[in-house]
Amino acid sequence: MTNYHFINSDSISFENLRTIIHTNMLLKLSDEAIDNIKKCRLYLDEKIKNNHQPIYGINTGFGSLCNVKIDNKNLRKLQENLVKSHACGTGEEVPQDIVKLMLLLKIQSLSYGHSGVQLETVLRLIDFYNNNIIPIVFTQGSLGASGDLAPLAHLSLPLFGEGNVHYKGKKVTGKSILKKFEWSKIKLKSKEGLALLNGTQFMTAYGVHLVLKSYKLSYLADLIGTLSLEAFDGRISPFKDLIHKIRPHYGQLKTAKRIKEFLQESEIIHQSKEHVQDPYSFRCIPQVHGASKDAFEYVKKVFTTEINSVTDNPNIFIEEDEIISGGNFHGQPLALALDFLAIALAELGNISERRIFQLVSGLRGLPPFLVKNPGLNSGFMIPQYTAASIVNQNKQLANPCSTDSIVSSNGQEDHVSMGANSATKAKRIVDNLETILAIELLNASQALHFRLPLKTSPFLESILKSFRDEVDFIENDKILSTEIEKTKLFIKHLVIDNEEIFS
């Protein structure tokens, strides 16, 4: 039986999106959405027929050409020209899973009935989504204001047989995909090109992808950090409820509670300790990881609002009989959130690298560089270098884009968010963090071997057992980049359900 998600006016949550993505649900318009789209288009057609005044984006030029009136007979050509002229993206291709999210989010935004598109246009976007026809979009070109113009232009080109798409592992032209499915070109009507191009779906798709990964990586940072705590023979006292109840930040409380749950029935954590306290990278895990969690909650809230919003321009209000040109395409809320996300993610990597450093330093009964014959073997000396190098890059990438603005469109668009660049660099930080956490897991699992016969908790032992099925304990020097890649794959494939991630 086909599993559908029906597009309607109900809010989509991150939990919904994760389910849609992971269960490969198909999209379908609800009767409500169909009615909204049809009514809005009919209203706009009547408005154009009976009104000879200039209405921005409908019978005028765009940007600084907003005062140029376009004859009604040229409105269709105007929209197609708009899409073609704005398709000037460059750089790397956007990952296909993010482009697919762009399709979903654009469909959702157009379905509310404030954009004036044809029903046929939205249905074709749904056809692309459901058949895994993924337009080729590029990472560079959007200023994150006036919407994500260049990326959304590339997303839209295949509607009328232009541009290129990925289909079944191959790159094919927009023209050939229409021929294969025996689809006619979409003939864009007035306002449609602008409705497709104005919007924040590039930034929002990145944001959704990154928030979902951030919550998983936050869980993994707690999990791997706890393994490192055990490997370093750390103390349980910094995770006790009393200390966190007198400074009750949500993320701090959540982190301490989670780590205590991870440590239930551990032999190592409850053995007597010679040391009075641990370094900050262990002792302050609740405070540091927790602060990042609080940042993720803020970012999640911003993107939940954006997912369920209309972000093109102008917007059509049938009941009020108004067409209003405003600025819902401006990405400033997303740019700030994405820059905050980048900083919060970079900090998880920063503290992880410090734990890696402590584990290889020959402290607390662990051999230098976590190898049995140090000197002959360099052991885990250089993975810490690698982690430090990546952390350094993350610190550079964490510098905000949203504090910059470059005037465009001949001065008409005189403040832009640069949120698209915030998005793409935040993704690089996420990818880097995955590598740093993989290196920490590799180190912690190696170090825990030297704690035998004492064991950690049954839960953590089960994680270690699964990990050892993929990555062996290292007796003598070997090529460690291979082991890091194996560990990254283990992290990627580790299944964590919605409740554990979002609770």
Whether residue 35 is found in the same domain as residue 109: yes
- Taking residues 31-50, report their average pLDDT: 93
In terms of domains, do 250 and 337 share one? Answer: yes
Whether 62 has a pLDDT exceeding 80, the answer reads no
Residues 190 and 235 reside in one and the same domain:
no
209-248 per-position pLDDT tens digit: 999 999 999 999 999 999 999 999 999 999 999 999 999 9
> In 73-122, which ranges are E strands?
90-93
Amino acid 427 reads K
The residues, ordered by sequence, that sit 6+ positions from 251 with a Cβ below 8 Å of its Cβ are 289, 290, 291, 292, 293, 294, 297
pLDDT category of residue 406 using cuts at 50, 70 and 90:
confident
Provide the pLDDT for residue 408: 86
Same domain for 179 and 280? no
Single out the residue in 146, 175, 199 at which a domain terminates. 199
The domain total for the chain is: 2
Tens of pLDDT, residue by residue over 269-320, are 999 999 999 999 999 999 999 999 999 999 999 999 999 999 999 999 999 9
Is 215 part of any domain?
A: yes
Asked whether residue 109 is assigned to any structural domain, the reply reads yes
Q: Give yes or no: residues 171 and 235 share one domain.
A: no
Whether residues 142 and 40 fall in one domain? yes
Question: Which of 4, 43, 56, 215 is the catalytic position?
Answer: 56
Higher-confidence position of 68 and 306: 306
- Model pLDDT for residues 412-463, shown as the tens digit of each residue: 888 999 999 999 999 999 999 999 999 999 999 999 999 999 999 999 999 9
Taking the C-alpha atoms of residue 342 and residue 399, their distance in angstroms, rounded to an integer, is 8
> Which amino acid would we find at residue 274?
E
CA–CA dist 199, 106 (Å, integer) = 8
Task: Note whether 124 and 232 are same-domain residues.
Answer: no
| Antiparallel, parallel or unpaired: β 4-7 and 26-29 | parallel
β-pair partners for 140: 90
CA dihedral (177, 312, 145, 399) in degrees, to 10, reads -80
Could you tell me if residue 411 is inside a domain?
no
d(CA 86, CA 141): 9
Helix, strand, or coil (residue 142):
coil
Q: Residue 43 maps to which CATH number?
A: 1.10.275.10
Pseudo-torsion of CA 12, 291, 445, 390, nearest 10°?
90
The DSSP output letter for 62 is S
Residues 85 and 185 in one domain: yes
Coil, strand, or helix at residue 450? Answer: coil
Same domain, 169 and 222: no
Answer whether residue 473 shows pLDDT above 90: yes
pLDDT of residue 78: 83
Does the active-site annotation cover 280? no
Q: What is the pLDDT of residues 366-377, one digit of tens each?
A: 999 999 888 888
Let me know if residue 298 belongs to a domain: yes
The Cα 369–Cα 99 span in angstroms is 43
Q: Is residue 410 part of a domain?
A: no
DSSP 54: -
Where in 13-54 does DSSP place strands (E)? 26-29
Written as one letter, the residue type at 288 is: V
Q: What is the CATH number of the domain that holds 296?
A: 1.20.200.10
Residue 410 pLDDT > 90: no
**Within 13 Å, how many C-alpha atoms sit on residue 345's CB side?**
36
Same domain, 95 and 185: yes
With respect to residue 158, please indicate whether it lies within any of the assigned structural domains. yes
Average pLDDT over residues 378-385: 94
Written in H, E and C, the secondary structure of 358-407 is HHCCCCCCCCHHHCCCECCECCCHHHHHHHHHHHHHHHHHCCCCCCCCCC
Tell me, what's the pLDDT at 499? 66
- Upstream peptide bond of 54 is cis (omega within 30 degrees of 0): no
Rounded to the nearest 5 degrees, what angle is found at the Cα of 209, between the Cα atoms of 205 and 214? 140
Of 199, 219, 249, the domain-final residue:
199
Query: Are 179 and 216 in a shared domain?
Result: no
Residue that terminates a domain, selected from 169, 199, 229: 199
Whole-number pLDDT of residue 114:
96
Mean pLDDT, range 137-148, rounded to an integer: 93
Task: Please tell me whether the peptide bond between 158 and the residue prior to it is cis, using omega within 30 degrees of 0.
Answer: no
CA dist list (Å): 102 to 96, 99, 209, 223, 495: 10, 5, 10, 32, 25
Domain-located, residue 141: yes
DSSP 69: B
* Mean per-residue pLDDT over the chain, rounded: 93
Query: For residue 317, is it within any domain?
Result: no
User: Do 199 and 315 meet the contact criterion of CB atoms below 8 Å apart?
Assistant: no
Query: Does residue 449 share a domain with residue 421?
Result: yes
Question: What range does the domain containing 111 cover?
Answer: 4-199
**Dihedral angle at the C-alpha atoms of 424, 430, 432, 433, nearest 10 degrees?**
160
**pTM exceeds cut of 0.75:** yes
Provide mean pLDDT across the span 379-408: 95
